[in-house]
Amino acid sequence: MKRLLTLVLAFALGLAAAAPAHAEGTLDKINQSGVLVIGTRTASPPFAYVNKSNEWVGFTIDLVEQGVLPSLSKKLGKPIKLEKKESTPPTRIPLLTSNAVDLIAGTMTDTRARRDSVDFSITFFVTGAQFLVKRTSPIKGIESIANRRVAAQQGSTNAKIIRERVPTAKLQEFPDQPAAFQALTQGQVDAYTNDGIQLYGLRAKAPKPDDWKVVGDFFSYEPYGMAMRKNDSEFRAAVNNGLMELIESGKYLELYDKWFGPKSETPYPLTPENRRFLIMQVVPK
């Protein structure tokens, strides 16, 4: 029995010691393989999702393809291909630190706690948490969810805020959006909270969008950024340059219009404030 325990302990220590080693920077890695590997979502329309014709598309993916990739190609002097892998809130940081992906490009909120583990690009989208409820629901926002059953996405900042601000709300956290929405549809929960834009996306994809409404003022601030391994400033600069180029050239607005414009499936007007905020992040050449 003693020997067994020693073995168990040795295994555990081995696990702990298996810190991923990064001998080289991400740019070198991409230069060698010719491929940028991103971790992104499969069910977060319109940022990254698999559409009806089974293509993996979205606003964030477009930003990578039309901004980050050209910037990397320019920097490395050769065409770079894109490879997409699925990442979810609990897996995205481990995927990055284990070198499985080079960039998380989905719907990840930039937070100070996360900056202890990863670095972020400039902010490419700003939203805040709201609630999706049935059209007839009396819920109007975070002020009316006390003692209500509320679904949230596991590993999201929204759940954290609700737990702190409305401890009497009965929070049910689901690993993915479809399960949470199913629970809302069947009445297991009274409301589903997520970043406002994602709720609009979900509503647009619902069989009967008119049965649902998005309510409440933003009760959180969610600036989306692309995450990468820490302390790799060369790579980070290349990613940021690509994004700034997109904003500066006006291409960002075209893409915004494509995914969030009045004719898109998820109309979400860019407020003058947010527009100004995006533009002011672009530093001079």
Partner 1 sequence: MSYKFDWSVLWSGESGGWLLQGLATTLELSVLAWVLAAALGIVSGAMRTVPWRLLRGLATFYVEFFRNVPLLVWMFFWYFGVPPLLPEAVREWLFDHGLPFWAGMFALGVYHGARMSEVIRSGIQSIPRTQFEASLAMGLTTFQAYRVVIIPIALRLIVPPATSESLNLLKNSSVALTISVAELTFQTRQIETYTAKAIEAFTAGTLIYLVLCVGIAIVMTRVERRFAIPGLIARGG
- Which residues contact partner 1 by CB under 8 A? 1, 4-5, 8, 12, 15-16, 19-22, 25, 89-90, 93-94, 97, 111, 113-114, 116-118, 149, 151, 154-157, 159-160, 170, 172-175, 179, 182-183, 186-188, 229-232
| DSSP secondary structure of 33-102 | H-EEEEEE-SEETTTEEE-TTS-EE-HHHHHIIIIIHHHHHHHHTS--EEEEEE--HHHHHHHHHTTS-S
Answer for the pair 101, 39: CB distance below 8 angstroms, yes or no: yes
Angle at 277 between CA 130 and CA 48, to 5 degrees: 55
Question: Which residue number, 182 or 264, has a Cβ lying nearer to partner 1?
Answer: 182
Measured between alpha carbons, how far is 76 from 72 in angstroms, rounded to an integer?
6
Question: Which residue number, 53 or 186, has a Cβ lying nearer to partner 1?
Answer: 186
Look up residue 109 and give its DSSP letter: B
Q: How many Cβ atoms from other residues are within 10 Å of residue 243's Cβ? A: 24
CB of 164 vs partner 1, minimal distance in Å: 11
Report strand pairing: 103-104 vs 170-174: unpaired
CB of 269 vs partner 1, minimal distance in Å: 30
Question: Which residue number, 51 or 147, has a Cβ lying nearer to partner 1?
Answer: 147
Question: Which residue number, 213 or 230, has a Cβ lying nearer to partner 1?
Answer: 230
Q: Is 223 helix (H, G, I), strand (E, B) or coil?
A: strand
CB of 204 vs partner 1, minimal distance in Å: 23
CB of 208 vs partner 1, minimal distance in Å: 18
Look up residue 142 and give its DSSP letter: G
CB of 187 vs partner 1, minimal distance in Å: 7
CB of 22 vs partner 1, minimal distance in Å: 5
Question: Which residue number, 74 or 160, has a Cβ lying nearer to partner 1?
Answer: 160
Helix locations, the chain, DSSP H: 2-17, 26-33, 59-63, 69-76, 89-97, 112-115, 157-165, 177-186, 196-205, 233-249, 251-260, 272-280
Question: Which residue number, 159 or 244, has a Cβ lying nearer to partner 1?
Answer: 159
